[in-house]
């Protein structure tokens, strides 16, 4: 999911996605510790997705405070 697609989501949808993506990221990390994951780049992609979602959410909160 690209940044433009994330910006089209509502704030509540972004919060839900953050929760699900964090769960997915933690699950990938745990599975990787138990047995190596075939694509270790998936862990990096999941971490970056969480960061993108949080960034967009923080920007919206900052704009709301300014208004």
Beta strands of 1-67 (E only): which ranges?
none
Q: Of 53, 1, 52, 50, which is closest to residue 26 (Cα–Cα)?
A: 50
Whether the pLDDT of residue 26 is over 90: the answer is yes
Whether the pLDDT of residue 56 is over 90: the answer is yes
User: pTM of the entire structure?
Assistant: 0.90
CA torsion, ordered 13, 14, 15, 20, to nearest 10 deg: 90
Whether the pLDDT of residue 67 is over 90: the answer is no
- Tens digit of each residue's pLDDT (9 = 90 or more) over 30-55: 999 999 988 989 999 999 999 999 99
Whether the pLDDT of residue 1 is over 90: the answer is no
d(CA 10, CA 7): 8
């Amino acid at each position: 999911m690209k940044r433009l697609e994330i910006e089209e989501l509502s704030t509540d949808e972004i919060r839900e996605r953050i929760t699900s993506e964090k769960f997915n990221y933690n699950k990938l990390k745990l599975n990787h510790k138990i047995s190596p994951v075939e694509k270790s780049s998936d862990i990096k992609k999941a971490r970056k997705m969480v960061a993108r979602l949080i960034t967009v959410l923080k920007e919206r909160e900052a704009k709301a405070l300014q208004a």
